[in-house]
Amino acid sequence: MASSASNATTTASPQLPGVVDESVAKKVALAALVGTALEWYDFFLFTTAAALVFNAQYFVSQDPFVSAMSSFATLAVGFVARPIGGFIFGALGDKVGRKKILMVTIVGIGLVTGLIGLLPNYMTIGVAAPILLVALRILQGLAVGGEWSGAVIIAVENAPVAKRARYAALPQLGSPIGTILSSGGFFGMLYLVGQANFDAWGWRIPFIAAIPLLAVSMWIRSKLSESPEFEALMESGETEHAPIRGVLTKSWRQILVGMCSALLGIGGFYLITSFVVFYGTKVLKMPYETLLLGSLLAAVVEIFALVWAGRMGEKFGASKVILWGGVASAVIAVPVFLAIDTANPVLVILAMIVGVSTLSVPYAVSGTALTALFATKVRYTGVAITSNSAGVISGFVPLIATALVAANGNSFWPGAIILLVVSALTALSGIFLPALSIEEKGMKH
């Protein structure tokens, strides 16, 4: 049962009944999925390029570790910008509506990604190149800060209460689809133009392709139905005028626990993909194609893991899925990195598949868990702040792992230990989530 002391914001207004028209729920969830797929395509393009391209194109150094850390620092900057975007777009989403903000954020993400593909490199414009790259990354982070939370919320608020875990898992499929598109784009360009041309200009094509993808996403997202729960608040005049203050002062426990619940699905993912791509190519001297293929296959398998875990969340409750998903990820942490360290292509790819699939189990239900922590009138703000705060920590995971690997003689152990710690924090959050969540008839926490 929700604690009155820690859940003052969430109990301030009664929850409205969920919508039972599943035809509408399906359309909204699919429209949200299309937007999140573009979001993660754009964002994962940057993470993969940070490991493969940006260290040579924008952060020129004789030491590959210095270049890599500079590149991963740029990756982290985007995550630092995300909570700021979460504050801005979350508060606006609780004041003017979910659909309007989701149109703004998707445009911001797509345009910035296209501009990155057109940005001259260090050899062309010197120090202005990394500065502009960082600036674009910040803009991208701001837009992403309001995107995922809004997409999950609009899917949840249009779904029947008892089936929210199922529909909240659909936008999560945007992550593997985005990975497939981004890794597939890089992999395809490598295959078509070769390593030299890829390094020179081929890497830009997947970024520029974000522009036509944006047009398709905008058309589909324009057909989204606004949340009936939010519309009811608007009609009754009960929208929150200061959602940021209310969430920070009255729901800080929800934010902390929610951050831990989301940490593995975000930070663990970047560890197994972006960091492993760097470690495999620079330390183990494996070909780019092998690591990109590993990311691609892991994303394909992740789709099935997300669908299955979403159904498990519907059946048993999101908190239990998060708890046991975190435990499972902790168990496989060391074996996964032992397999990666062999540099055997089959074992490395298998390890990436197992690692991503396992950490995707709690990620599948994180949208359900986070939306249940906050009342409708502050939900966008609460979920945006929580998920993006977890994203800040996650954005530094590849950077921290790279620094620790360099300090420990290129050993794989820092990566395994980081995955173990992050998994344990997510598992622990599963214990505390039910007590902090809003009780609704038909909802299993």
Q: What is the mean pLDDT of residues 77-92?
A: 86
Stronger pLDDT, 34 or 205, i.e. the higher one: 205
Lowest-confidence segment of 55-59, 220-224, 238-242, 323-327 by average pLDDT: 238-242
pLDDT at 68 over 70: no
Q: What is the mean pLDDT of residues 245-272?
A: 90
Q: What is the mean pLDDT of residues 77-89?
A: 85
Per cent of the chain over pLDDT 70 is 90
Token pair for residue 373?
């922590």
pLDDT at 31 over 50: yes
Stronger pLDDT, 68 or 114, i.e. the higher one: 114
Contacting residues for 231 by C-beta, under 8 A, at least 6 apart:
none
pLDDT at 36 over 80: yes
Q: What is the mean pLDDT of residues 407-417?
A: 85
Stronger pLDDT, 235 or 204, i.e. the higher one: 204
Q: What is the mean pLDDT of residues 355-372?
A: 93
Q: What is the mean pLDDT of residues 167-180?
A: 86
pLDDT at 443 over 70: no
Q: What is the mean pLDDT of residues 359-387?
A: 91
pLDDT at 6 over 60: no
Mind listing the pLDDT tens digit for each residue in 305-335?
999 999 999 889 999 999 999 999 999 999 9
Average pLDDT of the chain is 84
Q: What is the mean pLDDT of residues 103-111?
A: 89
Highest mean pLDDT of the ranges 5-9, 154-158, 342-346 = 342-346
Stronger pLDDT, 319 or 93, i.e. the higher one: 319
pLDDT level of residue 44 (50, 70, 90 thresholds): confident
Helix/strand/coil (H/E/C) assignment for every residue in the chain: CCCCCCCCCCCCCCCCCCCCCHHHHHHHHHHHHHHHHHHHHHHHHHHHHHHHCHHHHCCCCCCHHHHHHHHHHHHHHHHHHHHHHHHHHHHHHHHHCHHHHHHHHHHHHHHHHHHHHHCCCHHHHCCHHHHHHHHHHHHHHHHHHHHHHHHHHHHHHCCCHHHHHHHHHHHHCHHHHHHHHHHHHHHHHHHHHHHHHHHHHHCHHHHHCHHHHHHHHHHHHCCCCCCHHHHHHHHHCCCCCCHHHHHHHHCHHHHHHHHHHHHHHHHHHHHHHHHHHHHHHHHCCCCHHHHHHHHHHHHHHHHHHHHHHHHHHHHHCHHHHHHHHHHHHHHHHHHHHHHHHCCCHHHHHHHHHHHHHHHHHHHHHHHHHHHCCCCHHHHHHHHHHHHHHHHHHHHCHHHHHHHHHHHCCCCCHHHHHHHHHHHHHHHHHHHHHHHHCCCCCCCCC
The alpha helices in 97-173, defined as continuous H runs, are: 98-118, 122-125, 128-157, 164-172
Predicted pLDDT of residue 4: 38
Predicted pLDDT of residue 382: 92
pTM to 2 decimal places: 0.79
Predicted pLDDT of residue 2: 39
Predicted pLDDT of residue 60: 65
Per cent of the chain over pLDDT 90 is 28
pLDDT at 444 over 70: no
pLDDT at 19 over 70: no
